[in-house]
A = this chain, B = another copy of it.
Amino acid sequence: MKIGKGVEWAAHACAMLALLPEGRALSREALADFLGVPPPYLAKQLQALSRAGVVRAQRGVAGGYRLARPAKDISLWDVTAALEGTAPSFRCTEVRRNGPCGATARECANPCDIAAAFHRAEKGYRDALAGVPLSQIVDGAARTATPERRDRIRDWLARNGAP
C-alpha cells in the first residue's frame, strides 16, 4: 500500500495556511520555502488541493493561497483525497467469475467476502482520517511547540503572509 509523499507536504502546507489570519494568503514560493521543498513539486499539490476545493488561490496584491473553508471543516482525508483521488485502493476484478468454475452473474449478486473485507478496512482508514480536522492538527502543534518555535513561526508569518 502506497501513498505519494506529496500528501505529507500538502498536509503540512494546509496546516500552515490554517494559521493565517482572515483575509491573508501565502505565495507558493513562501509555502515551499517554509516546508523546505522545491516550489515546482509543491505547485502540483497546490493545484490538486485547489481543484478539490481545499485551498483557494487569490490573485492581486494579496495574492497567494488560503484555505477554501474553515480549518475545522477540512480533514486529513480531504487533503489525501485531493492528491490521491477517491478510487478504492483495492480494485475487485471479480476473479471468482473466471476460470473453469467461474461463478455466474447471478451467483455474484453480492460482493465476495474478500472484496467486502478490503472495502471495510479501507472505509475505516478513510473515516479515521476524516475524523482529524486541520484545526486539531494546528491546536496540537501549538500546544506542543516550544515558545521559541512558536515565535519563529509567528515572525515568519508576519513577514510572508500577504498582504
Q: Which of the listed residues A34, A96, A98, A121 has the most CB atoms from chain B within 10 Å of its own CB?
A: A121
Contacts of A34 in B (CB 8 A): 99-101
- Closest residue of chain B to A32, judged by CB? B99
Given A34-B99, A35-B99, A114-B137 contact (CB < 8 Å): yes
The 5 closest A-B pairs by CB, nearest first: A36-B98, A121-B128, A36-B99, A113-B140, A1-B89
Q: Which B residues are in CB contact (< 8 Å) with A114?
A: 8, 11-12, 15, 76, 137
Q: Are A152 and B93 in contact (CB under 8 A)?
A: no
Contact in complex: B1, A101 (CB < 8 Å) = no
Q: Are B95 and A35 in contact (CB under 8 A)?
A: yes
Known A5-B91, A36-B102, A76-B117; further 6 A-B contacts with Cβ < 8 A: A1-B89, A7-B90, A8-B92, A35-B95, A101-B149, A113-B141
Cβ of A62 < 8 Å from any Cβ of B?
no
B89:A2 contact, CB within 8 angstroms? yes
**Alpha-carbon gap, A112 to B80, bound state (A):** 17
Prevailing SS type, chain A contact patch:
helix
- Contact residues of A with B, CB < 8 Å? 1-3, 5, 7-9, 11-12, 15, 33-37, 76, 80, 84, 89-93, 95-104, 106-107, 110, 112-115, 117-118, 120-122, 124-126, 128-129, 132, 136-137, 140-141, 144-146, 149, 152-153, 156
Give Cα A106 to B128, complex, Å. 29
Residue with the highest number of chain B CB atoms closer than 10 Å, among A36, A93, A149, A156: A36
Docked pose: A161 CA to B139 CA in angstroms: 60
